[in-house]
Amino acid sequence: MPNALYHELATWATINFAYTRRNERDVATMVSDAREPEKVGRLLKVIRQRLGHRLAFAVEEAKIALSGTDRAAMSLAFVDNGLAAMADRADFERAIEARTDRLYATASDCIKAAGLGTTALDTIFLTGGSSRVPAVRTAIAHAAPSARMAAGSDFLSVALGLTQMAALRT
């Protein structure tokens, strides 16, 4: 199976690149050559019906669910009736471990660049859906162990802050 196609479908900014005539033609050929053509046919359906963003939303919903539970079901019935997948928090955390390690390093570097020690911060404001992920919170907390984690609206904080700043400038 072509890895590049899966990478295109796995990244918001490149999902639309998967919807080419060439990809459709190549996957259709793979369906006819596959040992399990119904499985490859699912990929073909995703491309033909442009379901990549819908698939990404299903993954995002599972990620959000895993912020509060150890297992989450992902309905993929829009691809194939009855199709579903289970997501496990431990597997998810293993999959993002390199990124959370990099987040910790970046947060530590930021604190150092500000000329502060790790105990100098008293509050860190978290925003965005990813800030709900326990492994993300742990990485940030590790970089600033004495800081209190504060949060507003996970999905609206940035927009609300920008709106308030714009209002001050008018």
Q: What's the pLDDT at 1?
A: 75
Q: Are residues 75 and 63 in the same domain?
A: yes
- Percent with pLDDT over 70 in the chain: 99
| Cα–Cα dist 170/164, whole Å | 10
Q: Domain ends where: 77, 94, 111? A: 94
Q: What's the pLDDT at 158?
A: 75
87-93: average pLDDT: 95
Range(s) of the domain holding residue 116: 96-169
Q: Are residues 124 and 157 in the same domain?
A: yes
pLDDT tens per residue across span 10-30: 989 999 999 999 999 999 999
Q: Are residues 9 and 65 in the same domain?
A: yes
Q: What's the pLDDT at 56?
A: 93
Q: Worst-scoring range by mean pLDDT, 48-57, 110-119, 121-130? A: 121-130
Q: Are residues 90 and 9 in the same domain?
A: yes
Q: Are 108 and 144 in contact (CB under 8 A)?
A: no
Give me the chain's average pLDDT, please.
Answer: 92
- Tell me whether residue 157 is exposed, middle or buried, using C-beta atoms within 10 angstroms of its C-beta: 0 to 12, 13 to 18, 19 or more: middle
